[in-house]
Structures are given as C-alpha cells and as structure tokens.
Structure 1
Amino acid sequence: MNPQRIVVVGAGHVGLYAALRLSKKLNRRRAEIVVIDPQPHMTYQPFLPEAAAGNISPRHSVVPLRRELKKCRVVAGEVTKVEHARKTVTIQPIEGPATEMSYDHIIVAPGSVSRTLPIPGLSERGIGLKTIGEATYLRNHILDQLDVAAVTPDPELRKAALTFVFVGGGFAGIEALAEMEDVVRDALKYYPELDAQELKFVLVEATNRILPEVGPKMGAYAARELAKRGISLRLDTFLNSCVDGEIVLSDGDSFRAETLVWTAGVKPSPMLDHTDLPRGPKGHINCLPTLQVADSDGNVLEGAWSAGDSAQVPDLTNPGGWCSPSAQHAVRQARVLADNIRQVVLGGEPKEYKHKYIGSVAGLGLGKGVAHVYGIKVKGWPAWFMHRTYHVSHIPSFHRKARVVADWTLAMLFKRETIALGQLHAPREEFTEVTPPVQRTAERPKAEAWSR
C-alpha cells in the first residue's frame, strides 16, 4: 500500500504543530508528510516584541524546521497555487522553475499578514512587526534615532528622531510599544546630550480601548500604567497621513516623527486568492468544526483542511461566533486537525474542535504586565511572570525553551545591550563602494597575476 501524501502549506503555529504531531502519530508506511514554506524556520510571534527589545536573541525566537521535523520532508519554497479539484499544489522553489505536487490531504495554513490601509506615506514610512527581520530592523532603527538626535544641530530633526508612533492597541502594538519605551529609556543613560523629557511616545488606536483581549478592567489598568510613563494614548483616533514623516491624525493633531510602527491587526494571507477553496466574507477559508474545508452549504471537500489565522472556524463554545485568530486557538486546532487526519487515514471519523477561550496575558515591559485568565484578573509583576511562563511553555522544542530562559536570566543579571547593528540591513554596501567597476571595453586588459 502506497503511503498517503499530506501536504502542509505554511509552517506557522498550525503547520509546525500539525506536521510534528502527524509525524509522531503516523509512520512512513502510512503517510508522507511534506511541509512547504519559503522560510527555514517557524517564527514564534509572541516573542517578537522581546526580540526587538533585546531580551531574547532573534535566533532563539524562531524554530528551525529541519531540526524539529526530522520525519517530514521540508520544501523551501512558496505555494503559488492550490487546485483542490485536481489535488495539486504549484510550488515555486527558492531557485529554479515552478513544479506541481499531488496530494491526498492538504493543510492550508499560510497564516496572516499585516492588515494595512491606503494611507498616504504608510508603505514608505511604516514598520511592521510580523517577522523576525522586522523586529530586528525596528530595534536597530530606534537606537539609530538616538544617535541622530544626539548629533544633529537641527532642532526639528532632533524632535522628530525622538518621537515614536505606534498604531494599533492590540497585543503586538502594546507589547512592542512598552518594550521599546523601556529600551529607549535604558539607552538614554549613555546619551548625556539627550533629556528624557524630550522623548515622545504616541499610541494611535481607532477604538476607545486597548488590549480588548484582557477585558475592559485590565485594559483600563494598562492604559493608566502607560500614561504614567508619559506615553500619549490617542484613542478613537485614526492615522490619516504620514508622508515624509509628517504624522497627521484624525483628531487634528500633526507632528513629525521618524519612527512609525504599524500593528493594526492582521488579515488572511493573500496566497489564498490563488486557491479554489471556498472562503468566508472576510477572505478566510470556510471550515467546519472538524477543521475540514466545506462549501457554503456545509458539503465537505474531501482531503482539504485548514486552521489558524487563515481559517474561519465556528466557535462551539460561543454559538454563532468564530474562533479568534490567536496562538491559543491555533496550537489547539493544530492538534485536533492532526488527530482528525490520522483518523481519516486509518478509516475513522474526525472529531469537532471545541475549546473555551481561557483568557489572555500581555507584557507591558520588563517586570510589568496584565492578565485575565479563567476569570481571574492579575496585574504587575505576577502578570508579567505569567506572561513569560505561558509563552516559554508553548514555544516548540526543549532547545528553544532552554535558550529563551538563558536569555532572560542573563538579561536580569547584566545591563541591557543597547547597540544598533544597522549594517545588518545593507551588509554589502561598504564592500560595493570600495570595489572598482569593471571596464566596459571590447577587449579588457588581462588582470595582473597576484603571484608576481
């Protein structure tokens, strides 16, 4: 009997956890598991703010696929098309021509991308926080601005360099804002030319509250704590424009800022536009509680599965609602999805996913946090400890858990590193500048032998 091929599109929370569980539950005689992702690692996104702050090494907030998925075939490439009618995917590898691959089952979990808006200047000035590259760039950029402010004779440029705008009051925005505010204040100790009173941190949020996931009481507490630190909270406010660094807000205020961080939500990956799978009104793949893809009439598409940010999964604990696009749901859905595929491969029936949202935890910088878990509200240091404990327990592999804990321990014992490594973003620039151009003549002179 030939093994069934299970193709996993995307190696995020759903893809990695599902593939890992399938590789343990099904032997290679039963199934061949193929994981396709353009990146060689899974990014544990809840750690991105701490990676940007330098509390965790960037390498330790990602999980290498080939090390963890030893029993799976990992393909470094991008899925450009899914034709479930033919049960084939089109793969564009890092190098070389595109190829097609057939499958028996497919898990479509490409995740999400930043939900942006057609705001003038946003594509040129905005910095996202969805990848480890963006987290590293944000850290280097913000520390570079301190150097700019310390040496410029232009008072307007100095003011703009010390103004930091964050758009979005959800987990990513608040945690990134709080962490980077800690970083800047720590770094300011080494800049006698700068005064902490010159710093301006601004949060722009379209609704009238922040951190809705932790409830209104804890969200209000977080807002008060941020305000005590001098952070300006602009609620019920929109970013209208940011052309050339000129920030224009819907409340009528305008000012110049050299840093604009955009964390205003996510949307399903645009890769889903190149599939023939049925989708919901907001672009998510339409799923049943069993995580099987189904059309609008509830008819199952045999062999098609989805979960996580890219899927619209009914929340059985909240009739009429949908599971939120959170890591908490994604990880649990991945386990149920893997078990259901195993059941189908072995001739059984899939089970429904049902999980009551237990609550949320959020960090507000070093030693500060809020939590609302199982109806219990916690704030301050205990919440911060809960936040770290929860996430270190959920990052895959013992290797990563140990390295993250080691990073945290060292950060508690020694002073924070406040070094900008801006050359990482253009590493060949200096080499290119000193390399002489090639003579463009019909007959180039022979190069002088180095042995002379």
Structure 2
Amino acid sequence: MARIAIVGTGFGGYTCAKLLERWLRPGEAEIVLITPKDYTLYLPLLPQVAGGVLQPRSIVTPLHTRLRRSKLLPGVAHQVDLDARTVDVLRIDGEPVRVPYDVLVLAPGSMTRTFDIPGLQEYARGMKTLAEAVYLRDHSIAQLELAASSDDPEERAARCGFVVVGAGYSGVETAATLQLVTRRAMARFPRLDPGLLRWTLIDIAPKVMPELGPELGEAATRLLEERGVEVRLGVTLDRVTVDTAKLTDGTTLPSRTVIWTAGVTPRPVVSSLGTETVKGRLVVGADLRVPGCDGVFGLGDAAAVPDLTAEPGTPCAPTAQHAHRQARTAARNVLAALRGGKLREYRHRDLGLVVDLGGSDAVARPFGIDLKGPLAQLVTRGYHLLTTPSGRSRLRVSGDWLLNMMAPDDLIRLDFLKDTPGTLEDLEHMPITPRARRISVTEEPAGSRR
C-alpha cells in the first residue's frame, strides 16, 4: 500500500488529509499525519481568546474525531531526505522516527519571525499559539494588579505600558482586543490613574494593514487612536529590556509587555529539502509541486505558491484563506501522483479580508466592498463561523459570543502558565531534545507499498 505523509495540521494539512480520506479508495493508500498537536487550531480567532471573549477549546478541532483513516504521528518533522524519500521526525517524547513516503505534502505552517534585536528573545511575547494567547491575557491583567500594589512610579509606568510590534492583522487585532481588556481592568484599581495605561502599536511600514486599502486602513487607525492606542509608523524596535522598549527613532517607552507580531517564517523543515526558497518559503509551481521532486508538494505559509491572478512572480500571501483553498488542489494532485493523472494548478478568487477590532468594531472588504463598524463585525463573525473547521467549534464559538454579550469576561487570571517565562522560545518554538535511539514507522522502503 502506498503511503502519503502529510507534515502539519494547520488549515492546509488538516484540510488536505480530510479530503484525501474522502477521495481515496479503500486500501489505496495510508495517510501518516505528522504533527506535535492532536488538534487543528483556528488561528484567526486567537486574539479573541486573549481578550477573554472565546474559551481556548472553542477554536480547536480534535483530530481524532475528524480524521478516521489517518495515522497520527505526534512529533515535529525536522528533516526531509529527498533521495531516500523519508522524513525524520522527533516525537513529542524525544524519540527519533524515520517515516518513508511515496507522496509527501509539506504544510508545516509558520512560526513568528524574529530578528537579532537585543532582548527580543528574552523579553518579547508572541501571538501565534493557543498557549501564547492564554499567557498574554493572564500576563496583561497581572501587570495591572502588580502596578496597583506598587508605590514606585517608574514600576507603575512600565507595568501599565504595552507595546505591540507589527501592524498587520495579528498585531492590530491583538492591540485592539487586549487594549479593551486592560481598559476595563483598570476600573478595578482605584489607586491607578487611568491615564497611566498606554498602548503603542509600531511598524516600520508607512501604513496600517496596507492590504485593506487606504480607506479601511485609515479607518482602523483612527478607531485605535480614538481608543487610546498610539500608532507609530516608520519605526520599529531597537532593543528590549525587562522594563523598557527602545525604538529606532531613539524613543524609550516604559513597558514590561512587548508583543512581537512582525511577520512569520516557515518551520525549519522547509530548508532541509535543499531546494530553492524565497524568503524562507519553499518554491513550488502553480500545481504546488516542488520542481524536480516528483510526489512532493508544498502549500500554505511554508510555500511560495504563484498567484495566477496577480502579476507574474507574485506569490500567494501566507493567509488562512489561501492555505485552506490550496489544500483542495493539493489533495487532487496527490491522487493524480498516485494514479498517474494530470496535475491541476491553483487559481483562486479573492473572497476579501476581515479584521475584528473588538466589541462591535471591525473593518471588512468582502468581495471588494468596504465595510466598517457593526455591519463589518457581523460580516467578520459570519466569515469566521463559515470557515471554522467543525460544527462543534461553530457551536462553541457562537455560544461564547452570546455568553460574552450577556455576561462579559470577569477579568480574572487563570494562571495555567504562571510558571513559564512566556517567551517565543518557550511557548512557540518548542524545541524537542532527541534521544539516541532511532525507530521506524515501518521496515518497508518507500515505493514497495504500491
């Protein structure tokens, strides 16, 4: 029997596996799904988890209940040997595993991109995983509690200062959502002057979310500024200390909370192929195939898929919308690779963009129509309900939204992650130390199972 190895269970990997389970004939091929998590995460709603609007489990879909024919291998893929047609994996218990494949689908997703900025690794936090969202909520509330208990004006200023680096979707939604949380939380501390609360959103780019166009981008900027979020463009982070954030224009902001959302980079397994990459993303054709590598496909954030609807040489943006839709093309082409059929090219029609700014505020551009305010929020939430992976998740998300309207967040700390530093390395990159022994999923070499 042939083996299909799928790396990653984000929008691309999960959807590809689900479609293959539906389309494969009985006994035609086995699917090995390589992932460190036993769920797929709906990333666009992470800021609402951080804001206490949604419960963490509402935006995850368990793989065991949705994928019946796939074999889950809990681990991190770190090396692909194209000649041997194998993937080296570190299981979550540190055991090395070598997985032979006949067809390989690389959809490992991405992690937060960092730069060599002094103090960034030690003091900055991210917003890319469920753990980071939960941590940031507790951390933000804790800073105000600690500020209220302190008589040191410098400590108070630092604990009430929040800096978000990156004015893309993640940064804007994180700043908007958590700023509402901290503004409400300030009312619990009469000893704290509300004027101490300071949120700053910075980006080296000249505009906030340029993909939205000038009108909606400016509308989002105005709304943030009206709430008290200072938006500073054309500037970025120069260094971070335990209680300050120094910017490239020489400004020093008192802050014990620096949230880094300045872009993403593919997981390291992508570079292990030794094939061409563009800004770290795997170069693939419009059919998602890695050039010169039969039976190897890449999609999602990890692959620079040509956008056939744009100027030549333009790759698809690393968005959930693209990853989800590329998965259908990938699944069809996997079947074609197994059966000797013709590969299809990925071509899409842009559905638009939605940005949740917290409360009843949002901006959206469905099918090229600019929307703002409550109507945009209605469209935004409708889009999320349509694209959430399972009916159970849709029910939970809808219930959380309704409950939050009737009984808002109590603004208490859950402290699930109180003993962790909460850094990018700690909660996102998650290195696994290998043990000495290597085991194999099977003794059969790739190709012998056809």
Q: TM-score, normalised by structure 1?
A: 0.90
- 1:375 aligns with 368
Residue 318, structure 1, aligned to residue 310, structure 2: yes
Residue 191, structure 1, aligned to residue 189, structure 2: yes
- 1:274 aligns with 272
Q: Is the 8 A contact 2:201 2:232 kept in 1?
A: yes
Q: Is the 8 A contact 2:278 2:304 kept in 1?
A: no
Residue 347, structure 1, aligned to residue 344, structure 2: no
Which one of 296, 301, 313 corresponds to residue 293 of structure 2? 301
Within a 5 Å distance, the mapping from 1:32-181 to structure 2 comes to 32-95=30-93, 97-181=95-179
Residue 358, structure 1, aligned to residue 351, structure 2: yes
Higher Cα Rg, which structure: 1
The unaligned stretches of length 5 or more in structure 1 are: 295-299, 428-452
CA shift, 1:115, in A, is: 1.1
Please give the per-residue CA displacement for 1:231-283, whole angstroms capped at 9, x wherever unaligned. 1111111111112322111222112201100000111112223224x222312
- 2:392 aligns with 399
Please give the per-residue CA displacement for 1:21-67, whole angstroms capped at 9, x wherever unaligned. 10011134111011001111222110110011111111111221112
Residue 252, structure 1, aligned to residue 250, structure 2: yes
Q: Is the 8 A contact 1:215 1:372 kept in 2?
A: no
Q: Could you say what secondary structure the match of 1:36 adopts?
A: strand
Q: Is the 8 A contact 2:7 2:107 kept in 1?
A: yes
Worse-superposed segment, 6-15 or 249-258 = 249-258
Which one of 288, 297, 306 corresponds to residue 285 of structure 2? 288
- 1:182 aligns with 180
Q: Distance in 2 between matches of 1:411 and 1:248?
A: 37
CA shift, 1:204, in A, is: 0.8
Q: Is the 8 A contact 2:103 2:337 kept in 1?
A: no
Q: Could you say what secondary structure the match of 1:59 adopts?
A: helix
**Aligned residue type for 2:295:** G
Which one of 330, 333, 336 corresponds to residue 326 of structure 2? 333
Q: Distance in 2 between matches of 1:28 and 1:286?
A: 33
Q: Could you say what secondary structure the match of 1:219 adopts?
A: helix
CA shift, 1:366, in A, is: 1.1
Please give the per-residue CA displacement for 1:53-85, whole angstroms capped at 9, x wherever unaligned. 111111111221112112211110111211121
Q: Distance in 2 between matches of 1:96 and 1:145?
A: 35
Q: Distance in 1 between matches of 2:93 and 2:166?
A: 37
Over 6 Å off, 4+ runs = none
Q: Is the 8 A contact 1:33 1:72 kept in 2?
A: yes
The unaligned stretches of length 5 or more in structure 2 are: 421-450
**Aligned residue type for 2:37:** Q
Change (3 A) 1:317 1:57: same
- 2:379 aligns with 386
Q: Is the 8 A contact 1:213 1:359 kept in 2?
A: no
Q: TM-score, normalised by structure 2?
A: 0.90
**Aligned residue type for 1:125:** Y
**Aligned residue type for 1:26:** L
Worse-superposed segment, 300-309 or 173-182 = 300-309
**Aligned residue type for 2:394:** K
CA shift, 1:96, in A, is: 5.5
Change (3 A) 1:96 1:327: closer
**Aligned residue type for 2:378:** F
Q: Is the 8 A contact 1:79 1:89 kept in 2?
A: yes
Q: Could you say what secondary structure the match of 2:306 adopts?
A: coil
The sequence identity of aligned pairs, in percent, is: 38
Q: Is the 8 A contact 2:244 2:253 kept in 1?
A: yes
- 1:437 aligns with none
Which one of 419, 427, 435 corresponds to residue 426 of structure 1? 419
Worse-superposed segment, 238-247 or 128-137 = 238-247
Q: Distance in 1 between matches of 2:62 and 2:225?
A: 39
> What RMSD, in angstroms, separates the aligned Cα atoms of the two structures?
1.4
